Amino acid sequence: MGIMGKTAEALEDLRAEMIADKSLPLQGQSVLVFGEGDPDAAALFVGEAPGFHEDRLGRPFVGRAGQLLDALLLEIHWPRESVYITNIVKRRPPDNRDPFPEEIEAYAPYLARQIEAINPKIIVALGRFAMNFFLPAAKISRDHGRVITAAGRLIVPLYHPAAALRSAAVGEELRENFRRLPKILREAPALLTQIPAEEAPGDPVRQSALF
């Protein structure tokens, strides 16, 4: 076994801190699904919360939606282990319900520290909950596939793979947006300087002319 890198060590420390934090909601009902992948990944994928299969295995995106995510990643030659995958809320809400605002708020500081440790070039927000965590004014039907700056980072909102499983049209849009991710990643440094930051809620979200 190789020596653990600095980022991996920071993430393991953060995981241990989350396990020890008894103030976090949903404890005793589900396991902690911290996230997995390359600790130094250039692309970070963020969903809303674990589901049934994720809770059973303690891994993010391993159900049908996760299988689709894996397939889409392979289509752009990004093996799952080359990116990092996590959720905002890191324990499964009962019956797969949407996470409550107070649950998102409780887990948010840990996600922020996770992002700081990984320091990705792009953050791919999967679904409206993840998108609105970074971009409160955005709408998934309007802004999916756009490249948006927020807090000095490039955010790319995409439909959640679960939505693609319910709609062939959404699935095709998701696949098309995935095909653009390698180009976005390659040009990330330039995009950070070219795309104006998202302004106050209600302002139109700006899209790079390159995409």
Confidence of residue 195 (pLDDT cuts 50, 70, 90): confident
The domain segmentation of the chain, as residue ranges, is 6-20+30-189
Give me the pLDDT at residue 194, please.
83
Average pLDDT over residues 25-43: 95
Q: What is the pLDDT of residues 63-75, one digit of tens each?
A: 999 999 999 999 9
Residue 160 reports pLDDT greater than 60:
yes
Residue 209 reports pLDDT greater than 50:
no
The three state secondary structure string of 37-78 is: ECCCCCEEEEECCCCHHHHHHCCCCCCHHHHHHHHHHHHCCC
Pairing of strands 148-150, 153-158: antiparallel
Give me the pLDDT at residue 157, please.
97
Average pLDDT over residues 91-116: 95
CB-based contacts of 134, cutoff 8 Å, min separation 6: 123, 125, 150, 151, 153, 155, 157
Comparing 203 with 23, the larger pLDDT belongs to 23
Confidence of residue 197 (pLDDT cuts 50, 70, 90): low
CB atoms under 10 Å from CB of 108, counted, come to 13
Residue 181 reports pLDDT greater than 90:
yes
Q: What is the pTM of this model?
A: 0.91
Q: What is the CATH number of domain 6-20+30-189?
A: 3.40.470.10
